[in-house]
A and B are shown apart, each in its own frame.
Chain A
Amino acid sequence: MTRAPRLERRGPTAFLFGAPAIIGLLLFLAVPFLMAFTLTFTDQRLVAPQSGHFIGWRNYERLLSVSYLVQSPRDKASGNVAAGWKPEYERVRSITRSNPEYRGYRPFTQFRIGQRRITILAQDPEFLQSLINTFAFALMVVPLQCSMALLLALLVNAGLRGQTIFRAIYFSPVVMSMVVVSIVWTFLFDRDLGSINRFISLVSFGTAPRIDWLGNPASAMPAIAIMSAWQGAGFQMLIFLAGLQGISQELYDAALIDGATSWQRFWNITIPGLRQTIIFVLVVTTIAALGLFTQIDVMTQGGPQNATSTVMFHAIQRGVREEDIAYGSTVAVVYFALITVLILAQQAIQKRSSK
């Protein structure tokens, strides 16, 4: 690492030149964040006759409280454990809605250990589900989008004919509005009339079952990941392209003389040469993935059954559409803290491994 130029030596001129950016950051990033942070301790609403009151940690409690409930089967006492007997349990909500100890809790997930049924409860199960969904989306989309971008970059950098046109074509989805792309892909993903299912049924001679892409909890998020990767890959392709052109041709020439195969050239020259680019692209794509909102809002509204709800979607739902801006801010602040911790941990690990 080269040492960063020291600010104080350049004096006030440096600050003057930096002022527009610094003021912009403070005004549009730092100040709103501090305001949001203050809001999290109030019950401020978007439309209200008076400003909010201080309510302490209530928003955080509602967001993060988790509890559990252990239930035994209902008629175990009768000893009727015959073959085919299925254990029955009291409905969780009749307990949470009547027992003051569990007031405000709703089931998040359920599993069984032996005859006992254990329910994990949360005051805001949608938030936990959204958190899991968002990271699952990032895990799906980041490798997909980055490898697609690298592949496209290699393709349009290979010196084939008409590659400028292809560069433009591959980049074009990035310029399109995400809302438009989402609407078009909703048509493509349609179970009965969508092109994707029609294509699948064509190549499988009608044997493949029709996939309800956006209607099935298992396939909805992957479908959105595929679409998002398609839409965004052009941008990363451009960065990879710049990276590729920064690798010295001499290295490839020397490798050719040494008789390296094209795979060896890719693995031993291209990839190491792109190391910094790859890290940059991964970071940028991950940040974009964690902010997933538009596609969800247009295509699934978080459904089916919360399978595609994301943290940003949840924050907008609660903060803007239900006008509980204090709670929406709490979602955003907690999410911010969580991502900050993750980044710090990742950097610490990176530092240790590079030593």
Chain B
Amino acid sequence: MAARRSSVIGLVSLSLLLCACGKDHRSNRIELTLWKHQAGDVEEAAGKLAVARFNASQSKWRITEQTLPQGGYTQSIVAASLAGRLPCLMTVDQPMVASFVWAGHLRPIDGLVSQAELTQVEAAAVGRYSGHLYSVGQFDAALAIFTRRSALKRIGARIPTLDHPWSLEEFDDILAKLKATGQYKYPLDLATRDPKADWWTYAFSPILQSFGGDLIDRSSMRSAEGVLNGPAALRFGQWFQSLFTRGFVDRREPDDRAFIAGRAAMVYTGSWWAPDYRTAAGDDLLILPPPDFGQGPVIGGGSWQWGISRTCSHADGAAAFISFLLKPSEVAKMADAAGMVPVTEAGAALSSDFRTGGKSRIFFELMRRFARQRPATPAFSVISNNFFFALQNIADGKNPQDALDDATDAIDQAIDDNGGYLTTTSAGR
């Protein structure tokens, strides 16, 4: 026991020592801890620079960032919240905002960051829940169709524009013609190899919305009945299944290089792939809006955003950091460094890639015109997981109506079990 006790003392003193080291001795700045999910190297480096610029820009606050693995990020937040050790600032994946608010991890920021700064941010990049604004993003991503000009020319297909995207019939016809050339075993790549519900919901629920369905009835957020399994959703399900039965899409893409290698003529994916595709296809590359499946094109909105924890004792400092990030020059720097879609018009104008006429301007336009967020409800993880399994089963041949009915029942049951998620938190833990 004696050994155990001394080791405990050792640990405590060690951690005290580390804390002491962390303090800035040169000035009496207030330390704020920031938790980030692990992102790609480029994004990571760009984020670090932004923090350094903030620390250098004023003398009151000092942000220290800690990067956590993305796989267990949500669990880390939950654990830290239970232990009362949440950092002041954290990145939050937009669909998880409602859940975090419901559980009492986040505090509203609409009183902290000025309204003028928040209103210039595109709607897709703010996390709202029950009348308050809890998170705001510095950047977003956009879904698009990437293809080669030469491939479309060969089959005589029209090049769609933002104002006149392909219709469902046109899109089907193009896929059939591309398939008929014999050059592509599967003309369209939908990244079906991705094993995570996140991707399937992010990528395919906008198509469901474009068909006229949705993941949940957004007016009440109480039920998916008639929306996820209604006539429009059924048409979406049948069409999605037909992509596989007609051999347009591979049920399991062996890798994510089908378009680069020329195995697929077209790929439906996010703006983060643009640099690789530009290298592979050069001037032949076309970045197109997704088809209009009936209710206009829709893409997913809402990426990683910034939020302030309920336990943060220096929320004004955290808000200062968020305001700093929303400065047009900062938004533009992040956009150009990491290829992320800027969320403000002013930021886009300052960016060399996203300004009018810039090579990535299309993504900004797509986000501004067509982005719709995933539903802001604490039930999101249940919705996402069940939608994912319904789509997988549909792709594998299950009756679409049965698959969508099952998902609807599971979602409605979860919402009922939680009393519609009406209980909001009182004071923080």
Contact = CB atoms under 8 A, between A and B. Distances in A.
A190 B252 contact: yes
Interface centre among A186, A191, A303 (most CB of B within 10 A): A303
Contacts of A113: none
Interface centre among A47, A191, A217 (most CB of B within 10 A): A47
B425 A47 contact: no
B394 to A, nearest CB: 10
Interface in A285-342: 297-298, 301-306, 317, 320-324
B243 interface: no
Contacts of A322: 381-382, 385-386, 414
B127 to A, nearest CB: 15
Given A48-B102, A49-B425, A215-B396, A43 B414 contact: no
Nearest to B186: A192
Interface string A29-50: 0000000000000010111111
Interface stretch (B87-95, B146-154, B416-424): B416-424
B424 A49 contact: yes
B185 A323 contact: no
B396 A304 contact: yes
A45 B82 CA distance: 13
Nearest to A193: B254
A116 interface: no
A198 B251 CA distance: 19
A106 B251 contact: no
Interface in A73-107: 91, 93, 97, 104, 106
A186 B194 CA distance: 12
B103 A49 contact: yes
A187 interface: yes
B197 A97 contact: no
Contacts of B262: none
A138 interface: no
Interface in A22-67: 43, 45-50
Given A192-B254, A301-B195, A47 B414 contact: no
A45 B409 CA distance: 19
A93 B402 contact: yes
A305 B104 contact: no
Contact of B195 (A48, A193, A297, A320): A297
Given A49-B104, A298-B195, A324 B414 contact: yes
Contacts of B251: 212, 215
Given A190-B254, A215-B252, A323-B382, A305 B417 contact: no
A190 B254 CA distance: 6
A106 B389 CA distance: 15
Interface size range on B against A: 35 or more
A304 B394 CA distance: 10
A138 B392 CA distance: 25
Contacts of B78: 46-47
A321 B382 CA distance: 8
Contacts of A50: 423
A244 B394 CA distance: 51
A154 B111 CA distance: 74
A194 interface: yes
Interface in B252-281: 252, 254-255
Contacts of B306: none
B413 interface: yes
Contacts of B392: 301, 303-304
A149 interface: no
Contacts of A297: 195
B406 interface: yes
B405 interface: yes
Interface in B66-99: 74-75, 78, 99
B397 interface: yes
Contacts of B195: 297-298, 301
A214 interface: yes
A250 to B, nearest CB: 49
Contacts of A321: 197, 381, 385
A93 B102 contact: no
A93 B405 contact: yes
A323 B402 contact: no
A106 B409 contact: yes
A47 B382 CA distance: 12
B218 interface: no
A264 B376 CA distance: 71
A17 B314 CA distance: 50
B393 interface: yes
A303 B398 CA distance: 11
B262 to A, nearest CB: 14
B102 A49 contact: yes
Contacts of A45: 418
Contacts of A215: 251-252, 396
B405 A214 contact: no
B134 interface: no
A99 to B, nearest CB: 14
B103 A303 contact: no
B214 to A, nearest CB: 19
Interface in B349-388: 378, 381-382, 385-386
B413 A104 contact: yes
B161 to A, nearest CB: 35
A43 B197 CA distance: 24
B391 to A, nearest CB: 10
Contacts of A301: 195, 389, 392
B100 A47 contact: yes
Interface in A203-227: 212, 214-215, 217
Contacts of B100: 47
A186 B417 CA distance: 38
A49 B102 CA distance: 6
Contacts of B409: 97, 104, 106
A274 B77 CA distance: 51
Contacts of B385: 317, 321-322
A305 B398 contact: yes
Contact of B423 (A49, A190, A194): A49
Contact of A192 (B185, B402, B423, B425): B185
A217 B397 CA distance: 11
B267 to A, nearest CB: 17
Contacts of B74: 47
Interface centre among B103, B252, B405, B418 (most CB of A within 10 A): B252
A304 B391 CA distance: 11
Nearest to B196: A301
A155 B404 CA distance: 53
Kindly list the 6 A-B residue pairs having the minimum CB-CB distance in the complex, ordered from nearest.
Answer: A304-B396, A190-B254, A49-B425, A47-B103, A322-B382, A193-B254
21 contacts: A48-B103, A49-B102, A49-B103, A49-B104, A49-B423, A91-B401, A93-B402, A93-B406, A106-B406, A187-B255, A192-B185, A192-B250, A194-B254, A214-B252, A215-B251, A215-B396, A304-B392, A305-B396, A322-B381, A322-B382, A324-B417
Given A45-B418, A187-B255, 11 more contacts: A43-B418, A47-B78, A47-B378, A49-B423, A97-B405, A104-B409, A303-B393, A303-B396, A306-B393, A322-B386, A324-B414
